[in-house]
Amino acid sequence: MALSAADKAAVRALWRKLGSNVGIYTTEALERTFVSFPATKTYFPHFDLSHGSAQVKAHGKKVADALTLAVAHLDDLPGALSALSDLHAHQLRVDPVNFKFLGHCLLVTLARHYPGDFGPAMHASLDKFLSHVSSALASSYR
């Protein structure tokens, strides 16, 4: 289920539209993840996770930058994300099931903010892209 040319074009087009607001949406996605899937909070014991937290916002920006990097390297996600994969595998040790939760909440966030742009085809392409990002992140685990 590799990303087709159409998937890549869709993801790039959406990312262009998001422009400099990616961080706003990744922050909201993180917030949704913490509330819908409270077990994910265990990875952030050192954070203030209340609504509007500056730490969550800063973390949202990191996630945004990583996803933007991924979008810029759709033809080689494993290569582009290899350092992040090492980080998640060896230091952060986030159980990969959690990547799906964040991915899902990002889809919900984008559907909420860009309903006109988030039809089934875009939904599918973005879901595929996020699955590939998750796989790339989990690739260093073993």
Partner 1 sequence: MLSAQERAQVAQVWDLIAGHEASFGAELLLRLFTVYPSTKVYFKHLGFCPDETQLLTHGRRMLEAVGVAVRHMDNLRAALSPLADLHAQVLRVDPSNFPLLTQCFQVVLASHLQGEFTVEMQAAWDKFLTGVSVVLTEKYR
Q: Which is nearer to partner 1, 12 or 104 (CB)?
A: 104
**Long-range contacts (CB closer than 8 Å, 24 or more residues apart) made by 32-38:** 32/105, 32/108, 32/109, 33/98, 33/101, 33/102, 33/105, 36/101, 36/105, 37/98, 37/101
Helices (H) and strands (E) in the chain, counts: 7, 0
Applying CB under 8 A, does 24 fall inside the site for partner 1?
no
Q: Smallest distance from the beta carbon of 31 to partner 1, in angstroms?
A: 5
Q: How far apart are CA 102 and CA 107, in angstroms?
A: 9
The Cβ of residue 134 has, within 10 Å, a number of other Cβ atoms equal to 18
- Per CB under 8 A, 57 contacts partner 1: no
Q: Give the per-residue contact string, 113-132, with partner 1 (x = CB under 8 A; - = no).
A: x-x--x-xx-xx--x-----
The reply to whether 8 sits near partner 1 by the rule CB under 8 A is no
Residue 59 near partner 1 by CB under 8 A = no
For the record, the structure tokens of 19 come out as 């422009």
Report yes or no: 136 and 85 within 8 Å, Cβ to Cβ: yes
- Of 21 and 92, which has the nearer Cβ to partner 1? 21
Q: How far is the CB of 140 from partner 1 (least distance, A)?
A: 26
Question: Interacting stretch for partner 1, rule CB under 8 A, among 9-17, 24-32, 40-48, 83-91?
Answer: 24-32
Residue closer to partner 1, measured from CB, 44 or 140:
44
Touching partner 1, residues 28-47 (CB under 8 A): 28, 31-32, 35-36
Q: Could you tell me how many residues of this chain bind partner 1 (CB under 8 A)?
A: 21
